[in-house]
């Protein structure tokens, strides 16, 4: 299903012969920010040509390639380089380990469809048709006053993205491999240096020479709280202290065998999902699990600046249906954020973003029963240290808001505080900052322009674009979302249309392409 580099010529590619058998980076290439064709060939690295390269291969890459295909780019002009076999592979893994299996509903709007840039019909209409359920259609009409916001099932997203990927010949564009770096090319454009899968090429590296490059690399890795990171490194214990974004099914299996105590840390959507899984097991199987939930900041009620930017909260949680308000995607907040300076953007981001979770009725009822039954124990505290006990358990030293110190004994600690977004942790982004001319913005992410072109990284008539989490803190607030990635894709495609790479997406072409999408006709 996927495409691998095998040393032979890819369809539509031009292969430049090399003069060295090894085919790996040389000190000269590593230390040179701008590469010449002759230097790459002299290092024995085969060169392939493709006008457009997307690095990442996740949903960010998929959404942009979908838009480019809709706007007329042939599949032969695009290469998506990734270690993943499908565009949903990484996201599916993260949702599954963070307790969002395929039948559960994700945190996304009904109209935010990675497979459908028009958003019509919405996921609510699709699921209502599939399930033959009027209730789902009715839910989107009465949300959020008389029902929770509709959100699609994770499995629905996977299935629709697969269908669209097949329609646009995604796997003809996919080339599996690990991207090592992106360097500017003398004369314009870029070299994307790739380590192909072992045994697929006679050389260790290959290079793709392109005019345009797109980066959609997601988050660099997991983020651990300092005290938990120290515990794991000191005691080499990765079994009892776990991150919600790594496999931790052993925690739930252990609790099925005997009564236990779990400490949950975090107050976002992942923490709420982990709590729901713990409580579901407790109530379904009659377990005696005790849950201690530590909030660093305990929200007592409605909060926020002014009157119009306040949001609901209580019992420790800050409530918000989506990661950002809907106006961040196409309303007043989007315009206000785009026109703000760096300091104002920080204020707006803090006011409307931060750690939140949807106020789902079923889940709130579970926590209420837990408080009443004295087996769910929320508390506000800062954990100063975690250490093992003599009997093989965990001891958390905490300091409350009142300064009082306590010690909590548990069997497991589940860290639900999020993903690491520091660019220095990602090899490609770090090299781009060091050698590619890119720079950080006020939020510490990649600085990009209104069309999501990476500032300072231009190379002749070529352009380097980025979308997703790495571009937070620029002119658009909700970059790390389905609709945010679609917004970036449309802006990038519009810039590429001006450069002549694709056609403009006008009303006639848009209508025609939607009809093809609705009829599932290949493009």
pLDDT in tens, 370-380: 999 999 999 99
What was the pLDDT predicted at 12? 37
pLDDT at residue 447 greater than cutoff 90? yes
In a domain, 141, yes or no: no
Q: What's residue 191's pLDDT?
A: 98
Tell me what pLDDT residue 306 has: 62
Residue 285, phi then psi, degrees to nearest 5: -105, 0
- Same domain for 56 and 163, yes or no, is yes
Whether residues 10 and 74 share a domain: the answer is yes
Quick: pLDDT tens for 295-341: 999 998 887 666 566 788 999 999 988 888 888 888 888 888 888 88
Closest CA to 38 of 217, 186, 256: 186
Residues 6+ apart with CB under 8 A from 58: 82, 84, 87, 88, 89, 90, 91, 216, 218, 468
pLDDT band, very low/low/confident/very high, at 68 (cuts 50, 70, 90) = very high
Q: Let me know whether 502 and 393 are in one domain.
A: no
Listed in sequence order, the residues at least 6 apart from 170 whose beta carbon sits closer than 8 Å to its beta carbon are: 62, 65, 80, 87, 164
Say whether pLDDT at 489 is over 60.
yes
CA distance linking residue 337 with residue 474, whole number of Å: 9
CATH number at residue 21: 3.50.50.60
pLDDT recorded at residue 351 = 79
Domain end marker among 398, 420, 442: 420
**Is residue 260 domain-shared with residue 406, that is, in the same domain?**
yes
368 & 416 share domain: yes
The per-residue pLDDT for range 85-131, each reduced to its tens digit, is 999 999 999 999 999 989 999 989 899 999 999 999 999 999 999 99
pLDDT band at 20 (very low <50, low <70, confident <90, very high): very low
- Split into its structural domains, the chain has a count of 3
Answer yes or no: is 495 within a domain. Answer: yes
Residue 308 pLDDT: 60
In a domain, 108, yes or no: no
Confidence of residue 24 (pLDDT cuts 50, 70, 90): very high
| pLDDT higher than 60, residue 17 | no
Q: Which domain holds residue 257?
A: 222-300+356-420
> Beta strand 212-215 with 463-466: parallel, antiparallel or unpaired?
parallel
- Given 370, 385, 420, the domain boundary residue is 420
Share of the chain above pLDDT 70, in %: 95
- Distance separating alpha carbons of residues 100 and 116, to the nearest angstrom: 22
State residue 155's pLDDT score: 96
Same domain, 16 and 86: yes
pLDDT for position 4 = 39
Confirm whether 113 is domain-assigned. no
How confident is the model over 170-185, as pLDDT tens digits? 999 999 999 999 999 9
Q: How far does the chain reach from its first CA to its final CA, in angstroms?
A: 18
Q: Evaluate whether residue 414 is within a structural domain.
A: yes
pLDDT of residue 1: 32
Given this model, what pLDDT does residue 22 score? Answer: 73
Average pLDDT over residues 386-403: 94
- Same domain flag for 376 and 474: no
Does the pLDDT of residue 5 top 50, yes or no?
no
pLDDT band at residue 21 under the 50/70/90 scheme: very low
In a domain, 183, yes or no: yes
How far is 505 from 497, CA to CA, in rounded Å? Answer: 9
pLDDT of residue 421: 63
Domain boundary among 420, 436, 467: 420
What is this structure's pTM?
Answer: 0.91
Which has the minimum average pLDDT: 67-71, 334-338, 509-513, 518-522? 334-338
Residues 166 and 273 in one domain: no
Please choose, from the candidates 90, 89, 127, 93, the residue with its C-alpha nearest in 3D space to the C-alpha of residue 108: 127
Query: Is residue 248 located within the same domain as residue 293?
Result: yes
Are both 14 and 83 inside the same structural domain?
A: yes
Q: Does 40 share its domain with 65?
A: yes
Q: CB-based contacts of 509: which residues, under 8 Å, 6+ apart?
A: 71, 503
Predicted local confidence at residue 224, as pLDDT:
82
Q: Is the pLDDT of residue 19 over 60?
A: no
- Span 489-517, average pLDDT: 97
Give the span between the Cα atoms of 395 and 393, in whole angstroms.
Answer: 7
Looking at residue 11, its pLDDT comes to: 36
Indicate if 439 and 459 belong to the same structural domain: yes
Angle at which helices 154-167 and 89-97 cross, to 10°: 170
* Residue 10: predicted pLDDT: 42
Query: For residue 229, how many C-alpha atoms fall within 13 Å in the half-sphere facing its CB?
Result: 7
| 267-294 pLDDT tens trace | 999 999 999 999 999 999 999 999 999 9
Average pLDDT, the chain: 91
Average pLDDT over residues 461-470: 96
Q: Is residue 107 part of a domain?
A: no
Is 315 a domain residue? no
């Amino acid at each position: 299903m996927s495409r691998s580099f095998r040393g032979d010529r890819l369809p539509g590619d031009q292969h430049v012969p090399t003069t060295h058998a090894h085919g790996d980076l040389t000190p000269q290439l590593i230390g040179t920010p701008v590469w010449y064709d002759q230097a790459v060939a002299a290092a024995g690295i085969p060169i392939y040509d493709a006008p457009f390269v997307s690095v990442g291969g996740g949903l960010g890459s998929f959404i942009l390639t979908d838009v480019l295909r809709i706007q007329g780019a042939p599949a032969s002009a695009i290469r998506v380089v990734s270690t993943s076999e499908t565009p949903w592979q990484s996201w599916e893994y993260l949702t599954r380990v963070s307790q969002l299996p395929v039948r559960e509903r994700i945190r996304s709007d009904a109209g935010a469809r990675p497979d459908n840039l028009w958003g019509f019909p919405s996921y609510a209409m699709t699921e209502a048709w599939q399930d033959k359920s009027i209730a789902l259609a009715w839910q989107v009409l009465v949300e959020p006053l008389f029902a929770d916001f509709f959100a699609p099932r994770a499995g629905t997203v996977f299935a629709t993205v697969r269908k669209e990927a097949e329609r646009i010949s995604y796997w003809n564009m996919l080339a599996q491999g690990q991207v090592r770096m992106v360097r500017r090319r003398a004369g314009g454009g870029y070299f994307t240096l790739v380590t192909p899968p072992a045994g697929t090429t006679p050389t260790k590296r290959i290079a793709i020479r392109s005019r345009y490059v797109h980066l959609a690399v997601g988050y660099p890795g997991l983020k651990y709280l300092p005290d938990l990171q120290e515990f794991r490194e000191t005691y080499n214990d990765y079994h009892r202290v776990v991150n919600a974004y790594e496999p931790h099914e052993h925690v739930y299996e252990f609790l099925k065998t005997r009564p236990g105590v779990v400490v949950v840390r975090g107050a976002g959507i992942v923490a709420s999902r982990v709590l729901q899984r713990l409580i579901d097991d407790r109530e379904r199987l009659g377990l005696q699990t005790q849950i201690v939930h530590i909030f660093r900041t305990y929200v007592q009620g409605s909060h926020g600046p002014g009157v119009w930017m306040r949001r609901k909260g209580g019992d420790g949680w800050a409530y918000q249906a989506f990661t950002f308000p809907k106006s961040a995607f196409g309303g007043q907040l989007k315009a206000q954020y785009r026109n703000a300076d760096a300091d104002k953007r920080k204020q707006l981001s803090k006011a409307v973003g931060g750690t939140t979770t949807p106020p789902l009725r079923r889940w709130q009822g579970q926590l209420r029963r837990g408080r009443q039954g004295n087996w769910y124990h929320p508390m506000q505290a800062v954990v100063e240290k975690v250490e093992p006990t003599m009997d093989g358990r965990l001891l958390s030293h905490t300091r409350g808001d009142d300064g009082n110190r306590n010690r909590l004994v548990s069997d497991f600690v589940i860290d639900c505080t999020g993903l690491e977004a520091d660019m220095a942790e990602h090899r490609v982004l770090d090299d781009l900052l060091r050698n590619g001319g890119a720079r950080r913005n006020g939020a510490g992410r990649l600085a990009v322009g209104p069309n999501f072109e990476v500032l300072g990284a231009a190379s002749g008539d070529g352009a380097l674009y980025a979308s997703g989490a790495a571009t937070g803190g620029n002119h658009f607030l909700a970059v790390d979302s389905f609709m945010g990635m679609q917004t970036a894709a449309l802006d990038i495609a519009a810039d590429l249309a001006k450069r002549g790479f694709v056609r403009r997406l006008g009303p006639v072409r848009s209508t025609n392409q939607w009809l093809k999408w609705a009829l599932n006709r290949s493009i």
